[in-house]
Amino acid sequence: MTSSPISLMKNLGDQFSVVFPDIEFEFNAFPSGNAMLDVRRAGRAFVMSYSIANGFGVDELRPDDGFLPGYQFGFQEFAPAAEKLREMVTSEAEAQFAYFSSLTQPSLSLIVLQSGNVDAAKDFYSAMGLSFVEEQHGNGPRHYSATMGRLVLEIYPCREKPVAPLRIGFDVPALDQTIEMLRSRGIRIVREAKDSPWGRRAVVEDPDGNRVELAMAS
């Protein structure tokens, strides 16, 4: 579904105010379908306009401008107009940061578990259906690594128990069967499988005391 020019402009103002606390903006949408985004920063004022007939206009407002029809920069598409406004309002480095912040959110790519017994931990997580390979980088310690899509789970040895146990979660295709298999291996079941508003779930404890939430995969 394609966003409307009005919603795109409003979102741009929201992004500015979140990323740069010293920026103020005012957004107005009119019954005609036109819209205006005014941005103020460090005593300077900038504007982005939209009209159905003319597309997007971008300019900096100055006290000595007087009345000048039109805008310094005109665009038919939102993306180049937004990029021009970012360029004018922010420094180059800030503009790049704001642009990429508006496009992406961080995604989890790596979990490293510190284990007092890497083989026991590997066996525990293998019971969830993960497939591990043994690795060693240079003179580093022997450890295990499993790939789940773009996420990598690694199990490294540690000499002392972690101060703050980690809690992670997995969706498994057969929750009750997985729980019984773990129970048969002596794994502590912290919370038995039960239905909840978020689906059927259970909590178990891995060999290093980390809480692991298991949920029925949908």
What percent of the chain is predicted at pLDDT more than 70? 82
Examine the domain organization and report whether 143 and 68 are in the same domain.
Answer: no
Cβ density class 42-66: b for 16+ within 10 Å, e for less: eeeebbbbbeeeeebbbbbeeeeee
Examine the domain organization and report whether 129 and 96 are in the same domain.
Answer: no
- Average pLDDT score over the chain: 81
Of residues 146 and 20, the one with the higher pLDDT is: 146
**What gap in Å lies between CA 62 and CA 85, rounded to an integer?**
15
Q: Give me the pLDDT at residue 62, please.
A: 75
Return the CATH number at 142. Answer: 3.10.180.10
Structural domain ending residue among the three candidates 78, 103, 128: 103
Cβ density class 157-166: b for 16+ within 10 Å, e for less: eeeeeeeeee
- Under the banding of pLDDT at 50, 70 and 90, the label for residue 86 is confident
Q: Give me the pLDDT at residue 101, please.
A: 53
Please check the confidence at residue 215 and state whether its pLDDT lies above 90: no
Examine the domain organization and report whether 98 and 57 are in the same domain.
Answer: yes
- Under the banding of pLDDT at 50, 70 and 90, the label for residue 19 is low
Examine the domain organization and report whether 76 and 161 are in the same domain.
Answer: no
Examine the domain organization and report whether 134 and 54 are in the same domain.
Answer: no
Looking at the DSSP bridge assignments, the partners of residue 147 are 152
What percent of the chain is predicted at pLDDT more than 90? 22
- Under the banding of pLDDT at 50, 70 and 90, the label for residue 67 is very low
Examine the domain organization and report whether 49 and 123 are in the same domain.
Answer: no
Examine the domain organization and report whether 61 and 133 are in the same domain.
Answer: no
Digit-coded pLDDT (tens) for 149-183: 878 898 989 866 655 567 788 888 888 888 988 99
Examine the domain organization and report whether 37 and 120 are in the same domain.
Answer: no
Please check the confidence at residue 68 and state whether its pLDDT lies above 90: no
Examine the domain organization and report whether 187 and 204 are in the same domain.
Answer: yes
Structural domain ending residue among the three candidates 39, 72, 103: 103
Query: Comparing C-alpha atoms, which of 188, 190, 192 is closest to residue 207?
Result: 188
Contact 81, 123 (CB under 8 A): no
Interval 177-201 mean pLDDT: 88
Measured from the Cβ of residue 150, the count of other Cβ atoms closer than 10 Å reads 9
Examine the domain organization and report whether 115 and 194 are in the same domain.
Answer: yes
Digit-coded pLDDT (tens) for 111-158: 888 888 899 999 999 988 889 999 988 888 899 999 888 788 989 898
The parent domain of residue 182 ranges over 110-216
Examine the domain organization and report whether 124 and 68 are in the same domain.
Answer: no
Rg of the Cα trace of the chain? Answer: 27
Structural domain ending residue among the three candidates 59, 80, 103: 103
Query: Comparing C-alpha atoms, which of 33, 8, 35 is closest to residue 103?
Result: 8
Q: Give me the pLDDT at residue 102, please.
A: 53
Examine the domain organization and report whether 176 and 192 are in the same domain.
Answer: yes
pTM: 0.48
Please check the confidence at residue 6 and state whether its pLDDT lies above 70: yes
Among the ranges given (27-36, 37-46, 113-122, 209-218), the one the predictor scored with the smallest mean pLDDT? 209-218
Please check the confidence at residue 1 and state whether its pLDDT lies above 50: no
Please check the confidence at residue 96 and state whether its pLDDT lies above 70: no
Q: Give me the pLDDT at residue 65, please.
A: 55
Count up the domains in the chain and report the number.
2
